[in-house]
Amino acid sequence: MGMRGIHTSINDIRKKVFAEVARLSYNYQPGDLSEMENIPYRIIPGEVSTYRESVFLERAIVKERMRLAMGLPLRDVTEHAPVSTGAEECVHPEKYYQPPLVNIIKFACHKCPDNQVHITDQCQGCLAQPCRQVCPREAIYFEKGQCHIDQSKCIKCGKCMSVCQYGVILRMERPCAVACGMKAIRSDEYGRAEIDQEKCVSCGMCLANCPFGAIADKAQIFQCIQAIRSETPVYAAIAPAIAGQFGRDLSPEKMRAAFRALGFKDVVEVAIGADLCTLEEAKDFLSEVPEKLPFMGTSCCPAWSVMAKREFPQHADCISMALTPMVLTGRLIKKENPGCKVAFIGPCAAKKLEASRRTIRSDVDFVLTFEEVMGMFEAKGVDFTTLEEMKVPNSASADGRGFSVSGGVAEAVVNCIKELAPDQEIHVERAEGLNDCRKMLMRAKAGKLNGYLLEGMACPGGCIGGAGTVQLIPKAAQEVEKIKKMSGKAHAYESKYQTILPELEE
């Protein structure tokens, strides 16, 4: 998974940017965003650079990160403008994302080699030179005691790599492009990474894997806090992947107190919506597969479902129409608390896009990632150790809480089908990462998965590997297991909310 869960200087800068934007919003006085000009100097103090060649470049990058964290567009580097230009428009809680959601800060990009085979200086200049013998293009030559590759002739087949007995031939690839399951990253005229927005599904894997921190998504931290400061109650709908994300000191018992400390009215588990989504998918599967549809794909991961419908249009109706756990939970909260606002707190960049769809805007007002909320805790100086412990809400089933781990959605749906139709045999195929999801759909298209339930997850490990997560994936999976065990119900069909499901779907 690359760098996930490893603490790097990029995490530090992101956390500082999110914390400063949160602080700016908590202290905001109408009409005055002048403090924005000081923030880059607080995050990157002094005159000596720590990470890059100059402190000016570091501050320039922080300025753009800060704008994106406020939901503002990147600026054209050729124009001179203060960092707060146009910032007033982000003050309105109603402001939605202006696409694109995922952005490359061009002057932070390292211009990594796109795909190059390279003989390192550890080459022993051996007598056999098997690398030269197997090269189909005679791209390898011997000079000054070492072998070298003529890049203009190399076709990157990798044969030389496989025969070098010293293992000193490497393939250099761009980490963001390797992480992108949509092949949406190319080079611009200066060799910097560029996102093809026609292909991008906003899974955020590129931003989680860029070791230069050149890629960032937009955030609604500022807007969400403005809503919290207004008269309107704002509820935090917390995704099941939240387990363990904020470290040992923020236990499930302290979750309510923690979010109240940020100004939220209360916390509701999205696992409740996951139970309802499970019931819906189980019913759909039983009524449609295989009579009306050859197979059915799960609906909850937006990056997977957008990819599936876009690349396999003839099977678009095979992706479940069930509302996602986020939407069902948002609707439930608003039904029980008319006039409130809902902030979905999750691991995911693509959920930001899902929530901004016209049909869903009224159900979910804000989407924040765990990383962004970490910045809010920092801004508010919330000390987890001193928080009051409260009873953990127990309305969601263990299966609903397991939605965040690869395989969990399919397992929940299968358990539900077993209850509704005990004699029905059900086959499951699952994939994590969009590359593998695509392969799974190719097999389904070829008729090899008829009668199957397909679970697609855009991120490795499932939602616990999402772009907005903080913890190592195996550790996060353990934490999810723990909260599953704390649940009073095992399966989705025990949900006390199923009677109102028809109302939520209208």
Count of structural domains, the chain: 3
CB 267 within 8 A of CB 374: no
Spatial distance between the Cα atoms of 52 and 48, rounded to a whole number of angstroms: 10
CA distance 85 to 93: 18
User: 175: closest CA among 210, 199, 202?
Assistant: 210
pLDDT digits (tens, 9 = 90+) for 254-310: 999 999 999 999 999 999 999 999 999 999 999 999 999 999 999 999 999 999 999
Give the pLDDT confidence of 461-502 residue by residue, as tens digits. Answer: 999 999 999 999 999 999 999 999 999 899 999 999 988 888
457 lies in the same domain as 332: yes
Same domain, 229 and 217: no
In a domain, 2, yes or no: no
Residue 4 lies in a domain: no
pLDDT at 403: 96
pLDDT (0 to 100) of residue 360: 86
Two tokens at 148?
A: 């070298």
DSSP strands (E only) in 46-145: 102-104, 115-119, 140-143
Alpha helices in 241-323 (DSSP H): 255-261, 271-288, 302-311
Do 403 and 329 belong together in one domain?
yes
Task: Specify if 120 maps to a domain.
Answer: yes
Question: Can you name the residues that pair with 6 across neighbouring β-strands?
Answer: none
The alpha carbon of residue 402 and the mean position of all alpha carbons in its chain are separated, in whole angstroms, by 17
145 burial type by CB count under 10 A (0-12 exposed, 13-18 middle, 19+ buried): exposed
178 occurs within a structural domain: no
Q: Are residues 27 and 150 in the same domain?
A: no
DSSP-assigned beta bridge partners for residue 267? 236
Residue numbers of the domain that contains 413: 223-505
pLDDT, tens digit (0-9, with 9 covering 90-100), for 59-94:
999 999 999 999 999 988 788 888 888 888 877 766
Torsion over CA: 447, 449, 450, 456 (sign): negative
Residues 475 and 348 in one domain: yes
* 364 inside domain: yes
Amino acid at 127: L
Q: What is the DSSP string of 387-452?
A: SPP-PPP--SBHHHHGGGSTTHHHHHHHHHHHHH-TT---EEEEEESHHHHHHHHHHHHTTTTTTE
With contact defined as beta carbons under 8 Å apart, do 383 and 124 qualify? Answer: no
From CA 230, how far away is CA 93, in angstroms rounded?
Answer: 10
- What pairs with residue 366 in β-bridges? 343
Q: Residues 239, 198: one domain?
A: no
> Within 13 A of 85's CA, how many CA atoms are on the CB side?
11
Indicate if 156 and 45 belong to the same structural domain: no
Q: In this structure, is residue 415 part of a structural domain?
A: yes
Kindly state whether residues 101 and 166 are assigned to the same domain: no
pLDDT at 455: 98
Q: Do residues 389 and 415 both lie within one domain?
A: yes
The answer for residues whose C-beta is within 8 angstroms of residue 40's C-beta and 6 or more apart is 59, 62, 63, 66, 83
**479 in the same domain as 382:** yes
Which of 54, 365, 333 is closest to 230 using CA atoms?
365
Residues 264 and 341 in one domain: yes
Rounded CA gap, 39 and 36, in Å?
A: 5
Which residues does 287 contact at the CB level (< 8 Å), separation at least 6? none
> Which CATH number covers residue 327?
3.40.950.10
pLDDT of residue 501: 87
Residue 266 lies in a domain: yes
Calculated CA dihedral for residues 117, 121, 127, 132, nearest 10 degrees = 20
Residues 213 and 228 in one domain: no
How far is the C-alpha of 454 from the C-alpha of 432, rounded, in Å?
11
Which residues in the chain come in under a pLDDT of 50? Answer: 1
224 half-sphere exposure, CB direction, 13 A CA radius: 35
